Structures are given as structure tokens and as C-alpha cells.
Amino acid sequence: MQIRINLLPPELTAEVEKKRKQRLMIMVTCSVLLVFFGIYSSLFIATMKTKEQTTRLQEEMQLWKEKVAVYAPYTELQARANKMEELLEQCTGSSPDWVQLMYNIGQQIPPSVWITDLQASYHVGDSQDVTDNEITLRGVAYSHVYVSYWLENMREIPGIEDIRYKFSSQENDSGQEVYYEIKAKLATIKPEDTVTEKEGK
């Protein structure tokens, strides 16, 4: 059994207890202040980093704006060039290439077949009625064999389809001549389209 006897006067004991509580309060206050200081420091550092990043991004954005301003005329020219190219494609794709078409037809015609009349009609625009878009060939040949051979070759010509053949024969002093009429639908073709010649021709 331990017996503790405090010989200090009550006033001194109270003063010691008061100082102990004050020290404890100071320690708690300092700890709280340290925690708040740490939080403030972290927030301050994060804020400074954010400001630095924002400043750097603004500088980069300004540099990009200056570069865009330098190349703006070229961008406008490119846009105009693209527009002109689009219009050119629409023009070249809206009607047949008549020169190439006539060349292809002439390349396929046999020596014993002649063209005496050629008619063509083609409507350019938004109209959906393309029933009149056709070409008509009339002429004379020594035999239907030559005309039939020509028809087979014409099926390889791009831009024409649905080929229809009519003929009639007539006797003359030189023998029998075949008067033919060929009609075909016209389709839109590109200028670069060419006919593939048959092997052995």
C-alpha cells in the first residue's frame, strides 16, 4: 500500500496544475496550427503549379494563334481550290465525254460498216427523267455479220448501255446492203474512262 502525501500548499499545487494545462493547450494549439499550415502549404503549392500550367498553356495558345494567322491566307486558298475541284468534278461527271465516246465508237467500227447519221440527246440537271438520254446511229453495211460484230464490241464501251439494233435489207446493183439503226442509253462517264480492246482484234 502506497501513501502519497502532498506537502505543497494548495495555492502552489493549483498553480502547477494551471501551468500543466496551459502547456497542454499550447501543444494542442501548435499541433492544430501545424496541420493547418501543412494544408495551406499544399494548397498554395498546387495553386502555384496550376497558375504556371495555365500561363504556359496561354503562351502556347498564343503561339498557335500566331501560326494560324500566318497560314490563314493559305487555308482560304485551299478552301477555294477544294470548292473549284468539287465544281469541276460535278461538271465532268454530269454529262458524257463526247469526244472520248465518239472516239471509242469509231475505234470499234469494222471497215465494212459506215455511219450515215448520228444523233444524241442528253439532259443535264436535277431531272430524274433520263429516258431521252440516248444515242442513235444509222448507216449501211455489207452484211449483218459486220454489224453484229460491231455491236459486240460496242458493249465494251463505257458510257453506253441497253443497246438496241434494228435493220432492213435492200437490193442494189452491187448486191445486198444492210441499212441499220442502233440505239443505246447514255450513262454518265468520266473523261478517264477508256475502252478495253479485245485481244486478237
34, 123, 124, 182, 195 from 160: Cα distances, Å: 91, 15, 16, 12, 11
Collapsing DSSP states into helix, strand and coil, what is residue 160?
strand
| pLDDT of the chain, 201 residues: tens digit per residue | 566 665 666 777 777 788 888 888 888 888 888 888 888 888 889 888 888 888 888 888 888 888 777 777 777 878 887 887 777 666 555 567 777 888 888 888 888 888 888 888 876 554 445 557 888 989 888 888 888 888 888 888 888 888 888 877 766 566 667 888 989 888 754 444 444 444 444
For the chain, the residue count is 201
